[in-house]
Chain A
Amino acid sequence: MKRTWRSPWQSTALIFALISFFVGFLLPGQARVVREMKQTYQNEDPKDLIRVIKDLQQRKQDLLVEETDVSQKVTQYLRSSDDTAAQVSQLQHEATVLRQRTGTVPLAGPGIRITIREQSSGVSPSMLADEDLLLLLNDLWASGAEVISLNGIHLTDSSSVYRAGLNVRVGGKVTQMPLVIDAIGDTENMAKGLQIPGGVLDLLNLRRIGAIVQKVNLLRISD
């Protein structure tokens, strides 16, 4: 009986081909598993999912407020279809609310004041970056701020905020450090939101940027 003996390199090539086939076979399956997990979020940290659920519950409340408000306006309008004075009153009330919202009138209320100072002395002076400022403002909005001003400049929907050298540009206006940020809104929640361990204040402190938070009973933000 004649025994066929493949050369070692032929065998190597054969095994190489087999292994390559299995790798090729397995990789698309793995990619599919990763894609599915991303889509279903079922492999996420439960803490993250709980945070999302809390936000969605908050969103539900916010939408309910607007739904109830518009529904009441519709009902009032239907009731006052023959009453011009009532219609005028309703429209004027909404116009007042919208003027407050768009920042065309000065506003007052309880809130917090954050004073931010860079350290200009030493070998490597600290500097507040655009991202730090955006994160700080974002955390304030997320924790219940209604109106914010930076060194007295009222932030509106179109206000951008960024560093321009040593200056800070807020919309079309220029201001300088130190920054005094006034935020009218839910005082307790805002203070709590900023002081979350690992949050924006910790980040600033790590970078040697001083941030002092004070609760204020009555802040005034001009238009």
Chain B
Amino acid sequence: MITRGRNGGVFLAALFVMVVGFGYLLAVQFEPTANKAYVVPAQNVELVEIMKGLENENNAAAQQIVDLRGQLAELESKGAATSDEVRVLTQQLGELRGKAGLAEATGPGVVVTLSDSSRTPTLSDDPNYFVIHDGYLRSIVNLMRRYGATAIAVNDQRVLGNSPIVCAGPIILVNSSRMSPPYVITALGNPEMLADSISQDVFFRVLEMYRDQFEITCSLEKKTSVTVPASLDNAAFKYAVSAK
């Protein structure tokens, strides 16, 4: 009886330790989301609806611009056949549109893909290392320019010199359009030069370290052909004029 009593005590102690351990583990697993999972702010449902409605409207407007530009190109092409002056000007305009990022561009290049970690951070982790920040995208775009990229896009958005890449909490916006991970950054240019230079850069190596440690996605691929969409922005300035 005495032995059984002693064994029972050991058993209860072991059980207690295990249950406490599992309780702690569960709490750690649930903590990052517990507060938010069950208290969804009521107005968020409406805000998300508004957001999605605007995105649908913007997608429709974007398609309309693509169609109208196609129509204009057809008319210009017909006009070019009527006079040499119009033909030369149309050709110049085509080159200028390409340089201004107003035309789709295709050619060899590289693709960098970044995405948030699929692993949920625990209490002991810094969650900042598990997500892709807007600053990462700005730095990658800057690296691509540094190493000779001639055209760049993030997901479906053409990135020009004046394209803002910002964040609103965890949401990244490029050209005021919401991006969803994975963030696919496409650059036209010499694939060897771009890939070799980017992969050796300190910033990219830090991202690779985060990939190994925190399981974010970070990859760099050379491509024989990539396509970068045209910018849908209007080229005219409101404030800047030609200086005399």
Q: Which residues of A contact B (CB under 8 A)?
A: 7-9, 11-12, 15-16, 19, 23, 26-27, 30-31, 33-34, 37, 40-53, 55-60, 62-67, 69-71, 73-74, 77-78, 81, 84, 87-88, 91-92, 94-102, 105-111, 130-131, 134-135, 138-139, 141-142, 145-148, 155-162, 184-186, 220-222
Using Cβ atoms and an 8 Å threshold, which residues of chain A touch B29? 27, 30
Distance of A145 Cα from B145 Cα, bound (Å): 20
**What is the bound-complex CA distance between A148 and B177, given in angstroms?**
23
Closest to A154 in B: B161
Contact at A42–B26, with CB atoms within 8 Å?
A: no
Query: Which residues 123-172 of B have a CB within 8 angstroms of A?
Result: 135, 138-139, 142-143, 145-146, 149-150, 160-166, 168-171
Q: Using Cβ atoms and an 8 Å threshold, which residues of chain B touch A50? A: 47
Q: Is B205 an interface residue (CB 8 A)?
A: no
Residues from chain A with a CB closer than 8 A to the CB of B178 are 52, 55-56
B164 touches A100 (CB 8 A): no
**B37 interface contact, C-beta 8 A:** yes
Q: Does B64 contact A (CB under 8 A)?
A: yes
Residue of A nearest to B26 (CB): A23
Contacting pair B242 A102 (CB below 8 A)? no
Q: Given the complex of chains A and B, what is the CA–CA distance between A67 and B240 in angstroms? A: 21
Minimum C-beta distance from A192 to chain B (A): 15
Q: Is the CB of B232 within 8 A of A66?
A: yes
**Chain B interface size range:** 35 or more
The segment from B90-98, B207-215, B216-224 found at the interface with A is B90-98
Residues of B within 8 A of A100 (CB): 235-237, 240-242
Interface of chain A: mostly helix, strand, loop or mixed: helix
Given A87-B86, A101-B100, A43 contacting B68 (CB threshold 8 A) = no
Which residues of A have CB within 8 Å of B149? 158
Chain B residues in 8 Å Cβ range of A105: 242-243
**Known contacts A52-B51, A131-B139, A134-B142; is A96 also within 8 Å of B242 by CB?**
yes
Chain A nearest Cβ from B164, distance in angstroms: 4
A94 adjacent to B93 (CB under 8 Å): yes
User: How near does chain B come to A37, taking the closest CB pair, in angstroms?
Assistant: 7
Assess the B14–A12 pair: CB atoms within 8 A.
yes
Query: For chain B, what secondary structure do more than half of its interface residues adopt (helix, strand, loop), or is it mixed?
Result: helix
Count of A-B contacts with CB under 8 A? 270
Is B200 close to A, CB under 8 A?
no
- Contact residues in B for A30 (Cβ distance below 8 Å): 29-30, 33, 120
Question: With A23-B26, A53-B47, A160-B146 in contact, is A63–B58 under 8 Å at CB?
Answer: yes
Whether B10 sits at the interface, judged by CB under 8 Å, is yes
**Complex contacts, B193 vs chain A, CB 8 Å:** none
Q: What are 30 A-B contacts with C-beta separation under 8 Å? A: A12-B14, A12-B15, A15-B18, A23-B26, A30-B120, A33-B37, A42-B44, A43-B40, A48-B170, A49-B168, A56-B54, A56-B55, A59-B175, A60-B58, A77-B79, A81-B78, A99-B96, A105-B243, A108-B243, A109-B240, A130-B142, A131-B138, A131-B139, A138-B165, A146-B238, A156-B161, A158-B150, A158-B161, A160-B143, A184-B237
Cβ of B68: which chain A residues have Cβ within 8 Å of it?
67, 70-71, 74
B100 touches A102 (CB 8 A): yes
